[in-house]
C-alpha cells in the first residue's frame, strides 16, 4: 500500500513495558475511534509494513498503548520508536456534509460570494495557527484562512467550496497584476 492511499495516525513515541508494548501519540480529535484496530501500518525506512495488534487501549487520552504480534522484547520495541503510523484512507470516519478532510478537497474550486471564482485548491497549510487554503489562480498563490465564518458551503459532488471572505482579502494577492 502506498503512503498516498493512507492517512497519518500518529507516531510511536516510547516503550511502555519490557514486554514490547509501545505508546503511539495519536494525531486525532477522536482517539477512541482507534482503540479496536486489528492492524496498523508502520513506516519503516520509507516502506509501510503492516503490524497486527494483540491488544490496544487508550492511555492518558491521546496516547494509544499497543502490543504488536511478534514484538516481544525491549529491543524489538526500540526498533520501532519514532516511526510514523498510518491507516488506509478507507478507515476515516464519514463526515457531515459541510465538513471535510484536507486530502479530499485538493482540486476543489473556490467561489467567493463577492469576488467570484478564486481558483483551485492545490493544498492546505496547517503549520500556521490557523489552517489556510492554498489556492492557485493562474499561477498566483492565494491564501484564505479555513475559518468556519468564511466557509459558507461545501459542495462535494461539484468539487466546489463557497466562501465569503472579508472585502479586499483576495485582491491583496492580485495587486501586482
Report the distance separating Cα 175 and Cα 160, nearest Å. 25
Q: Are 20 and 67 in contact (CB under 8 A)?
A: yes
CATH superfamily, region 3-91: RimM (2.40.30.60)
Task: Single out the residue of 99, 137, 103 nearest to residue 123, CA to CA.
Answer: 103
Q: Where are the domains of the chain?
A: 3-91, 102-172
Q: Give me the architecture of the 102-172 domain, per CATH.
A: Roll (2.30)
Q: Are 5 and 88 in contact (CB under 8 A)?
A: yes
Write the DSSP symbol of residue 21: -
Task: Single out the residue of 169, 101, 166 nearest to residue 135, CA to CA.
Answer: 169
Taking only the tens of pLDDT, the chain with its 177 residues reads 788 889 999 999 999 988 899 999 998 878 888 888 999 999 999 999 999 999 999 987 789 999 999 999 989 999 999 999 999 988 887 777 778 888 889 999 999 999 999 999 999 998 888 889 999 999 999 999 998 899 999 998 999 999 999 999 999 998 765
Write the DSSP symbol of residue 35: T
pLDDT of residue 145: 94
Q: Are 9 and 26 in contact (CB under 8 A)?
A: yes
pLDDT of residue 77: 93
Amino acid at each position: 500500500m502506498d503512503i498516498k492511499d493512507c492517512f497519518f495516525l500518529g507516531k510511536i513515541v516510547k516503550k511502555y513495558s519490557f514486554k514490547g508494548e509501545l505508546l503511539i501519540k495519536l494525531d486525532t480529535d477522536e482517539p477512541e475511534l482507534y482503540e479496536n484496530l486489528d492492524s496498523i501500518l508502520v513506516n519503516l525506512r520509507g516502506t509501510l509494513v503492516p503490524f497486527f495488534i494483540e491488544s490496544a487501549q487508550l492511555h492518558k487520552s491521546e496516547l494509544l498503548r499497543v502490543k504488536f504480534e511478534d514484538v516481544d522484547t525491549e529491543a524489538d520495541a526500540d526498533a520501532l520508536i519514532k516511526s510514523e503510523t498510518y491507516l488506509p484512507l478507507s478507515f476515516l470516519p464519514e463526515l457531515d456534509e459541510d465538513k471535510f478532510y484536507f486530502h479530499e478537497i485538493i482540486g476543489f474550486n473556490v467561489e467567493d460570494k463577492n469576488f467570484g471564482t478564486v481558483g483551485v485548491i492545490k493544498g492546505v497549510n496547517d503549520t500556521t495557527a490557523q489552517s489556510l487554503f492554498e489556492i492557485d489562480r493562474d499561477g498566483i498563490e492565494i491564501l484564505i484562512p479555513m475559518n468556519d465564518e468564511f466557509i459558507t458551503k461545501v459542495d462535494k459532488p461539484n468539487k466546489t467550496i463557497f466562501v465569503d471572505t472579508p472585502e479586499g482579502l483576495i485582491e491583496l494577492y492580485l495587486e501586482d497584476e
